[in-house]
Structure 1
């Protein structure tokens, strides 16, 4: 089974789509999986450090100093009013029994049994309004929404914050009282796992996964390139606007600018011409008009 396109080529949980419950809600059955999880409780609504706790673990802050490839999605859950959790999916390249032990007591390895979920997918950036829209979609699809069901819902985010477009998010709602042929599901997942194992074996021969700092450097470089391209475009637009302003703001060369002169200035000009017994040229005289203005050359 090929990974969904929204996994962006990374490992993500195996599932089988059961049916479309509505235009916006899908019923899926997920295979058993393992997650690296951290739960934080703060009655004052603080927190936010769970990502770095998990990131340090997969970056080598564990008893084996093992670097673990990043996978997708990042799973978030509001457990109750004060507590929330964040989880990273265990990649297929490492068996659960081979996972290193966390050095941080708050980081845990969670075993998640096979489970059916109602799923609502959407784009953009995740926020409270998007979560409320998912709850409304579940309600419209015939699911009863209670406080317990809201706290049992999980948010799956598949993209990094710096990805601006073509983002993919999901809200998973555990589906109870759903009839599933679990034997058929296990056969399906066994086949999918075998295909995934062959995929990872092929990539293992191609070389090890690059360390996390390489990914971070790539992200930083990509950001700098985007900034440079954007700055270049802005520069070209500004230069173009200024060029057009200069081009179309030039005065008509057939129009003359006139400055006021006094009668004494006119007499002085006439005297200068008379000194050399020279008569003023016709075109020079024409430039002194009756209104007392002379044209500038």
Structure 2
């Protein structure tokens, strides 16, 4: 299932293509041996996601960068209206699987669709040294945003976000809760120092764009809502 987490790469060398085809063949062979339809779907989805990542085909929310001119510590963006499917939880892995099953057809219409980016998580700061994970969301592809399939999983919902300004800070590496918290604090302080208006309620979004398979040039972002 780890292959389903979104990732990107731009390599097109002969060695890379050869390795890619070997992985494809292994996954294809496993899919023919899978006993259940759910296992087959997971493996075929992994194949599709693997090649999508190579070609950079993952769909994501469109935004416009808004010049802030005063700081290199953050970027201000304007996002159009977006629709997400979200799952409540206290741990990221089981919450991710609920969303994975949703895009695999566990919804009232039994609709399946491709993985998107980013995987968006919501955190609450409960002290100066700790945060709580509360929710994870997948971006609904544009073709389904007008009438998104209703999830059937427990603790899941469709979330419709209006137009919004987002302040974001990028960083790389494999992000832990400690990393998310540290970057949130840096972003918050940078906004306070710059006098930027933002929703300061001890909560923030964490956006991940990569699979555990991608070791370099990873993209992580913390988001705070603008006023």
TM-score in terms of structure 2 length = 0.64
Equivalence for 1:158: 209
Distance 1:95 1:56, change over 3 A: same
Equivalence for 1:52: 97
Structure-2 separation of matches of 1:80 and 1:94: 33
Equivalence for 1:174: 225
Distance 1:150 1:48, change over 3 A: farther
Structure-1 separation of matches of 2:205 and 2:195: 16
Task: Tell me the CA shift for residue 24 of structure 1.
Answer: 2.2
Distance 1:118 1:66, change over 3 A: same
Distance 1:144 1:84, change over 3 A: farther
Equivalence for 2:140: 90
Equivalence for 1:29: 78
Distance 1:101 1:118, change over 3 A: same
Structure-2 separation of matches of 1:37 and 1:22: 32
Native 8 Å contact 1:77 1:151 kept in 2:
no
Aligned residues, how many? 165
Out of 136, 156, 163, the position equivalent to 1:114 is: 163
Task: Tell me the CA shift for residue 172 of structure 1.
Answer: 0.7
Out of 5, 11, 18, the position equivalent to 2:66 is: 18
Q: Name the SS of the counterpart of 1:93 in structure 2.
A: helix
Greater per-residue helix proportion: 1
1:271-282 equivalent positions in 2, closer than 5 A: none
Structure with the greater alpha carbon radius of gyration: 1
Equivalence for 1:68: 113
Native 8 Å contact 1:39 1:85 kept in 2:
yes
Structure-1 separation of matches of 2:77 and 2:157: 26
Native 8 Å contact 2:164 2:225 kept in 1:
yes
Native 8 Å contact 1:73 1:156 kept in 2:
yes
Unaligned runs of 5+ in 2: 1-7, 10-52, 127-131
Equivalence for 2:183: 133
Q: Deviations over 1:103-139 (max 9, x none)?
A: 1131111001111011101111112135313422441
| Aligned Cα root-mean-square deviation (Å) | 2.6
Greater per-residue strand proportion: 2
Structure-2 separation of matches of 1:106 and 1:140: 35
Native 8 Å contact 2:168 2:187 kept in 1:
no
Structure-2 separation of matches of 1:150 and 1:132: 16
Distance 1:134 1:80, change over 3 A: closer
Native 8 Å contact 1:60 1:66 kept in 2:
yes
Structure-2 separation of matches of 1:19 and 1:55: 35
TM-score in terms of structure 1 length = 0.50
The structure with higher relative contact order (CA 8 Å, sep 6+) is 2
Task: Tell me the CA shift for residue 22 of structure 1.
Answer: 1.1
